[in-house]
């Protein structure tokens, strides 16, 4: 099926055509591993996962999916410094080596990130590469030398900057984001990785070493500039090295349009003489009461915060997928609960299709149902409309009245849909769960989550409560059973 995508470059929905016929090169801006990611960040990664699954399942493409790990930037350096409050006991003692401390911090949070996205149904095997920025320092230096050679970078102090004024007379600066150059001060420079568009200025490619910061040697223009790369050059380099330019699709949250993605475009064109990508796709924010969920606003939940409250990661995945990626999604516990029920409703329908004891003589047009759902997904990943098709079908049909053949066909279609959503089970409905009251199931689930997150006090307390209500929990390695006393 043909896929259509909203391209932030053209600001319209376009038919997707990859550079190579059957293969898609996809680059997603990944996490900065200085702390546990919050579920707002997770929305960006779940959106990229949705995209790559639709490209594979509906579009029939092979997808080379690259997601970078930012393990060197302002925030990772800040939080790896001696006596940083972000340092956890599990990471061990800090050492006197800045590089060692940075490595310990970022490896710890990278592992946590991979655990979190796996719990949220992202299959690590779907990645072609998860490159860490610190493994590409030489290549970043090469790109900076190229930009310098082409005349669009200069050295000031011991740092290297991109010459925006010169560049904007050569190519458009402001392709993704309208930029007002009225306030632009020629030659003004900015060193931080993130900045507002009012502060548009020459941005840093290579930052001079500061005291107590990790650094690398950099030979350029006959000088050795000890320092470290700016954030934007990391992505420009890794996408070129791993996918080649131009690759097909680049994703990230809308906040990355400026300066990160705008600067990526300028760097790639100024250094490699090529646009980085053909389609830029951006997800909108997960919000809390009308404000972007973010560490700085303090209004965030990590996945751990939520599983400790007994929330299942797959309910979070389903909730994120229930909204279109280009709309804002307001995070509430009531919203999570209603999506939990919606997911269960589809699951019950699948369990009824799996039940081979009952069947009837109703035949439905399963091809039409399949097409109705998949065509919505192909249309700029419209998950809410695809789910509306699914619920309309479920609400107007009784699975035990279908013929065996219809049930089999529908099961195959639900399996295909689940290659994208990946939140449903195709195992027969567990018998024991059938007779257990919902409040006991909820408590047992909460206890399991507490145990998994090593909150043993809470897990013991819940086990006691369940016992008092007349049920016992027995644990296996990956699961548990609820038994009536």
| Residues at the site binding ligand AMP, with contacts judged by CB under 6 A | 29, 31-32, 40-41, 43-44, 252-253, 255-256, 283, 285-286, 292-294
Find which of ligand AMP, Zn ion, none residue 50 binds, CB within 5 to 8 Å per kind. none
Q: Is 72 in the site for Zn ion (CB under 5 A)?
A: no
In sequence order, the 6+-apart residues with CB closer than 8 A to the CB of 97 are none
Q: Closest distance between ligand AMP and the C-beta of residue 410, in Å?
A: 34
Q: Which of 73, 72, 59, 75 is nearest to 1 (CA)?
A: 59
Closest residue to ligand AMP using C-beta atoms: 253
Q: How many CB atoms lie within 10 A of CB 435?
A: 8
Residue (29 or 320) nearer to Zn ion, CB = 29
Find which of Zn ion, ligand AMP, none residue 417 binds, CB within 5 to 8 Å per kind. none
Element (H, E) at 223: strand 223-224
Q: Is 450 in the site for Zn ion (CB under 5 A)?
A: no
Q: Closest distance between ligand AMP and the C-beta of residue 236, in Å?
A: 15
Q: Is 120 in the site for Zn ion (CB under 5 A)?
A: no
End-to-end CA distance of the chain: 53
Q: Closest distance between ligand AMP and the C-beta of residue 316, in Å?
A: 13
Find which of ligand AMP, Zn ion, none residue 451 binds, CB within 5 to 8 Å per kind. none
Q: Closest distance between ligand AMP and the C-beta of residue 339, in Å?
A: 17
Length of the chain: 485
Q: Which of 229, 206, 208, 252 is nearest to 71 (CA)?
A: 229
The residue written with tokens 């920025």 in the block is: 133
Residue (145 or 197) nearer to ligand AMP, CB = 197
Residues 15-34, mask of contacts with Zn ion (x by CB under 5 A): --------------x-----
Q: Is 413 in the site for Zn ion (CB under 5 A)?
A: no
Residue (176 or 235) nearer to Zn ion, CB = 235
CA distance linking residue 86 with residue 448, whole number of Å? 27
Strands (E), 33-111: 62-67
**The pairing of beta strand 189-190 with beta strand 159-162:** unpaired
Q: What are 442's two structure tokens?
A: 């909820």
Quote the DSSP letter at residue 429: P
Find which of ligand AMP, Zn ion, none residue 253 binds, CB within 5 to 8 Å per kind. ligand AMP
Q: Closest distance between Zn ion and the C-beta of residue 235, in Å?
A: 3
The residue written with tokens 């939140």 in the block is: 423
Quote the DSSP letter at residue 224: E
Residue (203 or 393) nearer to ligand AMP, CB = 203
CA distance linking residue 146 with residue 169, whole number of Å? 19
Q: What are 287's two structure tokens?
A: 């919000």
Q: Closest distance between ligand AMP and the C-beta of residue 344, in Å?
A: 26
Size of the site for Zn ion (CB under 5 A): 2
Q: Closest distance between Zn ion and the C-beta of residue 282, in Å?
A: 12
Residue (227 or 253) nearer to ligand AMP, CB = 253
Q: What are 257's two structure tokens?
A: 């349009």
Q: Is 480 exposed, middle or buried (0-12, 13-18, 19+ CB in 10 A)?
A: middle
Quote the DSSP letter at residue 135: G
Provide the 3-class DSSP secondary structure of residue 41.
helix
Find which of ligand AMP, Zn ion, none residue 292 binds, CB within 5 to 8 Å per kind. ligand AMP
Residue (32 or 134) nearer to ligand AMP, CB = 32
Residue from the set 235, 374, 423, 444 that interacts with Zn ion by CB under 5 A: 235
Find which of Zn ion, ligand AMP, none residue 286 binds, CB within 5 to 8 Å per kind. ligand AMP
Residue (46 or 55) nearer to ligand AMP, CB = 46
CA distance linking residue 120 with residue 43, whole number of Å? 10
Helices (H), 355-455: 366-378, 383-395, 404-421, 431-435, 438-452
Residue (235 or 346) nearer to Zn ion, CB = 235
Stretch that binds Zn ion, among 52-60, 167-175, 232-240, 339-347 (CB under 5 A): 232-240
Q: Closest distance between Zn ion and the C-beta of residue 18, in Å?
A: 21
In sequence order, the 6+-apart residues with CB closer than 8 A to the CB of 318 are 339, 340, 342, 343, 421, 423
Find which of Zn ion, ligand AMP, none residue 276 binds, CB within 5 to 8 Å per kind. none
Binding site for Zn ion (CB under 5 A): 29, 235
């Amino acid at each position: 099926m043909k896929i259509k995508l909203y391209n932030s470059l053209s600001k319209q929905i376009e038919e997707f055509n990859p550079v190579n016929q059957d293969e898609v090169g996809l680059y997603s801006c990944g996490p900065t591993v200085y702390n546990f990611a919050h579920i707002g960040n997770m929305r960006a990664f779940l959106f990229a996962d949705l995209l790559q699954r639709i490209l594979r399942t509906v579009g029939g493409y092979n997808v080379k999916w690259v997601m970078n790990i930012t393990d060197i930037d302002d925030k990772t350096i800040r939080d790896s410094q001696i006596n940083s409050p972000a340092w956890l006991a599990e990471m061990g003692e800090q050492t006197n080596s800045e590089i060692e401390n940075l490595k310990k911090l970022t490896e710890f949070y990278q592992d946590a990130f991979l655990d979190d996205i796996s719990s949220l149904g992202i299959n690590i095997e779907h990645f072609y590469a998860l490159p860490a920025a610190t493994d590409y320092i030489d290549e970043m230096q090469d790109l900076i030398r190229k930009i310098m050679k082409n005349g669009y970078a200069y050295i000031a102090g011991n740092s290297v900057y991109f010459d925006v004024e010169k560049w904007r007379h050569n190519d458009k600066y402001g392709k993704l984001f309208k930029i007002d150059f009225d306030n632009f001060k020629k030659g003004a420079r900015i060193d931080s990785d993130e900045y507002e568009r009012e502060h548009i200025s020459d941005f840093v490619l290579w930052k001079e070493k500061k005291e107590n910061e990790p650094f690398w040697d950099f030979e350029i223009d006959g000088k050795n500039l000890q320092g470290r790369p700016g954030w934007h050059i990391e992505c420009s380099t890794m996408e070129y090295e791993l996918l080649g330019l131009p690759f097909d699709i680049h994703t990230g949250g809308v906040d990355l349009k400026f300066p990160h993605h705008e600067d990526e475009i300028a760097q790639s064109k100024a250094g490699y003489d090529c646009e980085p990508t053909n389609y830029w796709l951006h997800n909108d924010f997960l919000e809390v009461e009308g404000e972007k969920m973010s560490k700085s606003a303090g209004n965030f939940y990590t996945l751990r915060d939520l599983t400790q409250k007994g929330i299942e990661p797959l309910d979070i995945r389903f909730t994120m997928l229930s909204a279109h990626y280009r709309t804002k999604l307001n995070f509430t516990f009531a919203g999570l609960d209603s999506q939990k029920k919606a997911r269960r409703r589809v699951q019950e329908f699948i369990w009824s299709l799996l039940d081979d004891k009952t069947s009837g003589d109703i035949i439905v047009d399963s091809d039409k149902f399949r097409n109705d759902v998949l065509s919505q997904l192909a249309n700029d990943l419209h998950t809410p409309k695809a789910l509306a098709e699914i619920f309309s079908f479920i609400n107007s049909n009784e699975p035990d009245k279908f013929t065996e053949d219809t049930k089999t066909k529908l099961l195959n279609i639900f399996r295909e849909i689940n290659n994208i959503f990946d939140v449903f089970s195709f195992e027969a409905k567990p018998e024991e769960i059938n007779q257990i009251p919902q409040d006991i199931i909820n408590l047992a689930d909460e206890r399991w989550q507490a145990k998994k997150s090593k909150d043993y006090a809470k897990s013991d307390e819940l086990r006691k409560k369940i016992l008092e209500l007349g049920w016992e929990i027995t644990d296996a390695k990956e699961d548990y059973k609820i038994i009536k006393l």
